[in-house]
Amino acid sequence: MAFVGNESVWAAEATECANEQGRFWDYYAKLFEKQGGENVGAFSKENLQRFAADLGLDTAQFSQCLAAGTYTSKVQQETAEGRQKGVRGTPTVFVNGQLIEGGSDYRLLRSAVESAVGRR
* Per-residue model confidence (pLDDT) at position 120: 52
Alpha carbons within 13 A on the beta-carbon side of 68? 10
* Per-residue model confidence (pLDDT) at position 119: 65
Whether pLDDT at 53 is above 80:
yes
Whether pLDDT at 47 is above 70:
yes
Over residues 63-115, the pLDDT tens digits come to 999 999 999 999 999 999 999 998 988 788 899 888 888 777 888 889 889 98
* Per-residue model confidence (pLDDT) at position 28: 96
Q: Which domains does the chain have, with CATH numbers?
A: 6-82 (3.40.30.10), 90-116 (no CATH)
Over residues 4-14, the pLDDT tens digits come to 789 999 999 99
From CA 84, how far away is CA 115, in angstroms rounded?
A: 24
Terminal-residue alpha carbon distance, the chain: 32
